[in-house]
A and B are shown apart, each in its own frame.
Chain A
Amino acid sequence: MIGARLVQEAFRAMGTECVVGATATRAEAAHARRALAAGRREVEECEQVLSRFRPGSDLSRLNGANGAWRSVDQRLIDVLRTALRVRRETEGRFDPTILPVLIAAGYDRSFEHLAARPPTGAGDWRPNAVVEIDIVTQQARVEAGAAVDLGGIGKGFAAERALWAMRDAWLELPGGLVDLGGDIAVWGVTPDGGPGGFPSPIRARPDRRLRRSGSTRALSRPPDATRGASAPAGSSTI
């Protein structure tokens, strides 16, 4: 794009450094700022729903329900569905119900507030705890004694949601990036339109369409075929 640059904003959320960015010309600066604000707002809303360190979050209410059903935000329903699917596909190598073990190992507060202490036992923890979801009534339950952590997968989920929020805020957004501490979602074109930034090969594969995995407005909006870009891509580094 001639005259385009990466307009970006850094902030802190979900216990990590976050960046939202958009490809825009100077004339589009106001649109870009609106998109970035929408992306940041979505990250913060995801944190409010998915954080285990916020007592009032939907996840904390679910973990504290002692096995009872709880009405929760659609975001939590969506990320739980993905988590349970990957747990099944990886035969339990990824397991969102590992929270009691994390706490026993000392990860009992937000990362920046961690203090060294000897690990304790995880009691009678066992993997693959029962998590049930009712997508009709938008409720979920975690078996009594178990608890869910969505620290990593929640960041990936929030990154993609934020990217869609940016597109909703600026329908002509040429390209966008959301980086939540290494969980990165990208879409569209880089300012220079070349390699090394947003994933051009993704754009070159028109067969890869966004799967409508969520029932929320932003995630279910059909891809914009006029730009040749069909879906965001995600990247995570550990």
Chain B
Amino acid sequence: MPADAGPLAVTVVGMHAAEVEAYATALAITPIEQASACLSARPTVSALLVPLEGNAVVAGDLPFLVAPRLAEVIA
């Protein structure tokens, strides 16, 4: 699959650091609207995606406590 314009920044969280690093690389070149589909094979992996414009987007069940200010951005 070719690389596309991805988000400005990607943070991926999961149970294994090697796995989430690889998914972070993949999501960095994936359009945000396709991020959830990209993670579909790994339900334990989730991501916070910051687009060039607009609000941050969560893909998957982000398993960490979100600071209040960040929660406002996501909302």
Contact assessment for B10 and A201 in the assembled complex, using a CB-CB cutoff below 8 Å: no
List the B side residues contacting A183 at CB < 8 Å. Answer: 17, 21
List the A side residues contacting B41 at CB < 8 Å. Answer: 89
CA distance A136 to B67 in the complex (A): 46
Contact assessment for B16 and A236 in the assembled complex, using a CB-CB cutoff below 8 Å: no
Beta-carbon contacts under 8 Å, A191-229 to B: 195-196, 199-202, 205, 208, 210-211, 213
Main secondary structure of the interface of A (DSSP, over half): mixed
Main secondary structure of the interface of B (DSSP, over half): mixed
The contact string, 1 if C-beta is below 8 Å from chain B, for chain A 143-186, is 00000000011111101100000000000000000000001110
List the A side residues contacting B32 at CB < 8 Å. Answer: none
Which A residue sits closest to B10, measured CB to CB?
A: A238
Q: How far is the CB of A65 from chain B (nearest CB, A)?
A: 23
Contact assessment for B28 and A234 in the assembled complex, using a CB-CB cutoff below 8 Å: no
Q: How far is the CB of A30 from chain B (nearest CB, A)?
A: 27
Contact assessment for B24 and A237 in the assembled complex, using a CB-CB cutoff below 8 Å: yes
Interface residues of A, count at CB 8 A: 41
Measuring CB to CB, which residues of chain A are less than 8 angstroms from any residue of chain B? 79, 82-83, 86-87, 89-94, 152-157, 159-160, 183-185, 195-196, 199-202, 205, 208, 210-211, 213, 231-238
List the B side residues contacting A79 at CB < 8 Å. Answer: 18
Known interface pairs A86-B23, A238-B28; A156-B65 also in contact (CB < 8 Å): no
Q: How far is the CB of A188 from chain B (nearest CB, A)?
A: 14
| Most interface-central of A92, A153, A159 (chain B CB within 10 A) | A153
List the B side residues contacting A201 at CB < 8 Å. Answer: 63-65
Which A residue sits closest to B4, measured CB to CB?
A: A93
Which A residue sits closest to B62, measured CB to CB?
A: A201
The contact string, 1 if C-beta is below 8 Å from chain A, for chain B 21-48, is 1111111111000000010011010000
CA distance A92 to B9 in the complex (A): 20
Q: What are 15 A-B residue pairs whose CB atoms fall within 8 Å in the complex?
A: A82-B16, A89-B41, A90-B22, A91-B1, A94-B22, A153-B25, A157-B18, A184-B17, A201-B64, A202-B63, A234-B15, A237-B10, A237-B11, A238-B11, A238-B28
